[in-house]
C-alpha cells in the first residue's frame, strides 16, 4: 500500500497541472504557484508520460487541454477540492460558504463585452463570487462544475439548455485618426487602405452588401484572434471587419469609429448555455437572467443591412 501511494503524482504536480488547465498558460500557472515556467512544463511532461497521452496542445499563445487533458482536469479538480475541504482552516471554511458561480466563455467575448459586464455585476453583487474560465473548447459542464457558459455558434449543443444572448454582426472599424488621415468617404475607398484580416470573418461578404464586386483581400495583416484584430485597428494599422459586440465599448467611447453605416449579420450568435436538469446553484439562474437583461438593454452600434452612408 505504501508503495502505491509513493507512485502517485506529487500534490505540487497536480496543482501545476490544474493551474495550467485553468489559466491555459504554463507561464501564468508558474507565476501563480511561484514556480518557473520550466518547472511547470517538466511536471506536466511527467504527467503525460504517466498517462500515456498528450494533455495540452498549443493554440497561438494559449495551451488548450486535449480531450484526455479535460478528463484528467475534472478528476484532479475534484480531488484537490476534497483535500482543500479536509484541511481547510475555520476561516477558509467560512469563505467556502460564500455564493459562487462558475462561468465559461469563448476568449473573444470574455476579454471584451463580458469582462466589462461582469465587472458591473461584481460591483452590484459583492456577495456573489464569479469565476470566469476562458476556453474555446466546449467543456463538460456537469463534470467540471460549470454553471453558465457563453458560446459563439448556432446553438443546439447536446446536453445543454441554450438561450440567445444576442446576434452578431460585422462592420468595418478603424481609429478616428486613421479615418481622418485616409478620408474614407465611400466603401470604394477601402481599396486604397490596408485591410486587417481575420480567418473567421469574410470581407467579401461585406463587400457584396455594399455593392462592391470584390473578392476576399489577398494581402494585409492576418489575425486568428478577434481582440488582437481590434487592437491593430486601435493602433491605426488599418481597417478591421469588426464584430459588433467585441468592439461595442470602443465604438461607444469613440476609440474606434465605423466609417460606413452598414453591417452584415454573422452566421453565428452568442448564446447562454447551462446543463440540462435541475441546477444545484440558485445563483446561476440569477446570473443568466442578469446577463440576458443587460444584453437586452444594449443597442448594436451599427444597424444591420442599413444603407451605406458617408461619415
How many angstroms separate the CA atoms of 155 and 266, rounded? Answer: 14
Q: CB neighbours (10 Å) of residue 184?
A: 22
Examine the pLDDT at 278 and tell me if it is beyond 70.
Answer: no
Q: Which domains, and CATH codes, for the chain? A: 1-94 (1.10.10.10), 98-311 (3.40.190.290)
* CA separation for the pair 203, 214 (Å, rounded): 9
* Mean predicted lDDT score pLDDT of the chain: 88
CA 175 to centroid of chain Cα atoms? 24
Alpha-carbon distance of 175 to 16, in angstroms, equals 41
8-state DSSP, 218: S
DSSP 84-108: HHHT--HHHHHHHTSEEEEEEE-HH
256 versus 281: the higher-pLDDT residue is 256
Please tell me what DSSP assigns to residue 237: S
pLDDT in tens, 291-304: 999 998 887 665 56
Report the pLDDT value the prediction gives residue 145, as an integer from 0 to 100: 86
Rounded average pLDDT over 227-246: 94
Confidence of residue 287 (pLDDT cuts 50, 70, 90): very high
Q: Find out whether 265 and 100 touch, Cβ atoms under 8 Å.
A: no
Asked if 109 and 148 count as a contact pair (C-beta separation under 8 A), the reply is no
What would the pLDDT profile of 171-224 be if each residue is shown by its tens digit?
999 999 999 999 999 999 999 999 999 988 899 999 999 999 999 999 999 998
What is the band of 3 on the pLDDT scale with cuts at 50, 70, 90? very low
**Confidence tier at 82 by pLDDT (50, 70, 90):** confident
Specify the higher pLDDT residue, 1 or 187: 187
More confident residue, 87 or 272: 272
Distance CA 25, CA 62 (A): 6
Can you say how many angstroms the Cα of residue 198 is from the centroid of all Cα atoms in its chain? 16
CA triple 173-150-223, angle to 5 deg: 40
Whether 310 has a pLDDT exceeding 80, the answer reads no
Q: What is the pLDDT of residue 159?
A: 87
- Positive or negative torsion for Cα 17, 21, 26, 29: negative
CA distance 206 to 172: 9
**The pTM of the whole model exceeds 0.75:** no
**SS3 of the chain: helix, strand, coil, percent, to 5:** 45, 20, 35
What's the CA gap between 228 and 243, in Å, rounded?
12
Amino acid at each position: 500500500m505504501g508503495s502505491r501511494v509513493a507512485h502517485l503524482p506529487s500534490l505540487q504536480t497536480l496543482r501545476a497541472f490544474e493551474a495550467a488547465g485553468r489559466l491555459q498558460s504554463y507561464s501564468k500557472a508558474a507565476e501563480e504557484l511561484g514556480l518557473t515556467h520550466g518547472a511547470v512544463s517538466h511536471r506536466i511532461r511527467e504527467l503525460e508520460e504517466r498517462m500515456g497521452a498528450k494533455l495540452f496542445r498549443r493554440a497561438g499563445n494559449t495551451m488548450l487541454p486535449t480531450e484526455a487533458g479535460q478528463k484528467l482536469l475534472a478528476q484532479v479538480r475534484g480531488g484537490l477540492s476534497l483535500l482543500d475541504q479536509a484541511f481547510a482552516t475555520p476561516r477558509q471554511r467560512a469563505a467556502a460558504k460564500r455564493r459562487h458561480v462558475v462561468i465559461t466563455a469563448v476568449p473573444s467575448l470574455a476579454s471584451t463585452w463580458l469582462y466589462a459586464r461582469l465587472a458591473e455585476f461584481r460591483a452590484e453583487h459583492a456577495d456573489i463570487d464569479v469565476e470566469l474560465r476562458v476556453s474555446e473548447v466546449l467543456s463538460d459542464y456537469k463534470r467540471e462544475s460549470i454553471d453558465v457558459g457563453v458560446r459563439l455558434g448556432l446553438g443546439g449543443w447536446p446536453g445543454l439548455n441554450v438561450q440567445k444572448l444576442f446576434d452578431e454582426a460585422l462592420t468595418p472599424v478603424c481609429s478616428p485618426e486613421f479615418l481622418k488621415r485616409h478620408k474614407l468617404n465611400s466603401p470604394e475607398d477601402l481599396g486604397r487602405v490596408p485591410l486587417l484580416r481575420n480567418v473567421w470573418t469574410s470581407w467579401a461578404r461585406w463587400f457584396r452588401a455594399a455593392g462592391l464586386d470584390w473578392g476576399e483581400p489577398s494581402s494585409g495583416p492576418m489575425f486568428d484572434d478577434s481582440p488582437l484584430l481590434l487592437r491593430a485597428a486601435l493602433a491605426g494599422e488599418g481597417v478591421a471587419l469588426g464584430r459588433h459586440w467585441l468592439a461595442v465599448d470602443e465604438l461607444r467611447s469613440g476609440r474606434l469609429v465605423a466609417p460606413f453605416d452598414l453591417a452584415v449579420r454573422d452566421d453565428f450568435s452568442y448564446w447562454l448555455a447551462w446543463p440540462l436538469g435541475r441546477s444545484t446553484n440558485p445563483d446561476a439562474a440569477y446570473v443568466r437572467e442578469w446577463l440576458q437583461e443587460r444584453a437586452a438593454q444594449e443597442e448594436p452600434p451599427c444597424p444591420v443591412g442599413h444603407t451605406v452612408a458617408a461619415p
